Amino acid sequence: MIPRRVAMLSVHTSPLHQPGTGDAGGMNVYIVELAKRLAAIDIEVEIFTRATSAALPPSVELAPGVLVRHVAAGPYEGLAKENLPAQLCAFTHGVMRTWADHRPDHYDLVHSHYWLSGHVGRLAAHRWRVPLVHTMHTMAKVKNASLADGDTPEPASRVSGETQVVESADRLIANTGKEAAELLHHYDADPRRVAVVHPGVNLDRFRPDASTAHSGVEAGRMAARARLGLPRDALIPLFVGRIQPLKAPDVLLRAVARLLEERPGLRERIVVPVVGGPSGSGLTEPEGLQKLAACLGISDVVLFHPPVSQDDLTDWYRAASVLVMPSYSESFGLVAIEAQACGTPVIAAKVGGLPVAVRDGVSGVLIQGHQPSDYARALSDFADTPTRAARMAEAAVVHARSFGWTSAAAATAEVYTAALHDCRPLKGRLAHVV
């Protein structure tokens, strides 16, 4: 039994928001791409998210079969994610009002994303007598076990809230086998209710430059650099993401400073783009990374650029010599797959789902820990061995092709079907009452 219509919940960040700004990131991309692919296999998706402006329409068609519903809950602007739990009752009320305008069986299933949405999902699924499928995306206990210096621990209220969601969900979708193991270890999840579904990448968008396909990845890299005004022969280590301690862009800057200290001749041919905006605890000092670059004496080689659209992001990936992801925690690391799909190898911390996203020694390099010297050494290797870097670039494209959203949506639909099968008695009782 495949669901006809799914209520998808994303309380704290809208799928319409620009990734790399505020709380918008990989989860936004995940929800948008998954919803589109589910609609393509005839599963309608309605995404409920908190309205952040009075000017927003009640609903927006994101794509055929995908509707985004804006729910009024709390002040439109200036509400930090940490203050959202107080608005969950209002958000739930808004979701229920929408449901009340339809037949009782309008939604066949609830799929919630992140723990805040999970609490709304628990109530909605119980009221509608449908299964709840939940995707954690990040977990408080995992984040707290590997905090960056200066980062703020997740509160006990979140840990408690996540525990309740795990207990209530009919199915839990984990991005990787490691995340599934963390659900079992930290939250005592029922292994029978945990399914692993790797996220995908939009392979139509993220790919090597089609105009230079006959000449290979390297020709596309030169074309992208020309379009962005970047030097043709530079070493370009790229950071893409939200500027916050968790993502550790400071590790990249410190690594570049160490590299230039050891090899001052590289200063003439290195550019370090940082594409993204402050987020989370990074908002407390939004100019902190610029100040760090100045203190390290590398402001002349660091290029700070605000977040860009997904379409524009492809050129930044293509232009880079390597993407650097020194994150302290990543449930999967969609950015790593996107870069590889464009033909760019990755240097990443060996954390979370990154060992799945990156084939160590083939499509990139995984580093244990966050010592800038280790990342400096890896960057130095890329500068010294262009033939190895070129081989990794070609291998990265091949590796990324195994992560398509079509297969991710099909696997998710199988999880839905299993949840519906287990909950058929509930549906039957509801039909009898109606």
pLDDT digits (tens, 9 = 90+) for 196-216: 999 999 999 999 987 776 678
Q: Is 182 annotated as a binding residue?
A: no
CA 94-51-60 angle, to 5 degrees, is 90
| Residue 2, pLDDT score | 87
* 254 marked as binding residue: no
Find out whether 344 is annotated in a ligand binding site: yes
Distance between CA atoms of residues 416 and 321, nearest Å: 40
In this prediction, residue 414 carries a pLDDT of 97
To the question of whether residue 28 is assigned a binding role by annotation, the answer is yes
Q: Is 23 labelled as part of a ligand binding site?
A: yes
Is 148 annotated as belonging to a binding site? no
| Residue the block writes with tokens 């985004």 | 68
Q: What is the pLDDT at residue 279? A: 62
**167 annotated as a binding-site residue:** no
pLDDT at 17: 76
- Pick out the chain residues at pLDDT < 50: 282, 284, 427-434
Q: Which of 346, 303, 315 is nearest to 220 (CA)?
A: 315
Summarised one tens digit per residue, pLDDT across range 144-154 is 998 888 788 99
Looking at residue 50, its pLDDT comes to 93
Length of the chain: 434
- pLDDT for res 18: 64
49 among annotated binding-site residues: no
Q: What is the pTM of this model?
A: 0.85
What is the enclosing helix (H) or strand (E) of 348? strand 346-349
| Residue with the two structure tokens 């960040």 | 13
418 is in an annotated binding site: no
Known binding residue 300? Answer is no
Q: Is 338 annotated as a binding residue?
A: yes
The whole-number pLDDT of residue 428 equals 42
Candidates 19, 70, 336, 302; CA nearest to 201 is 336
Helices 386-400/372-384 angle, 10° precision: 100
pLDDT of residue 278: 78
In the chain the domains, ranked by start, together with CATH numbers, are 5-200+404-433 (3.40.50.2000), 210-400 (3.40.50.2000)
Q: Which residues contact 54 (CB under 8 A, 6 or more apart)?
A: 76
Token pair, residue 72, equals 């009024």
19 is in an annotated binding site: yes
For residue 427, the model assigns a pLDDT of 46
pLDDT in the model for residue 19: 62
97 is an annotated ligand-binding site residue? no
Residue 276 counted as an annotated binding residue: no
CB 382 within 8 A of CB 322: yes
Q: At what angle do helices 386-400 and 217-228 cross, to 10 degrees?
A: 100
Predicted pLDDT of residue 395? 97
DSSP, collapsed to helix, strand or coil, labels residue 248 as coil
138 is in an annotated binding site: yes
User: Residue 81, annotated ligand binder?
Assistant: yes
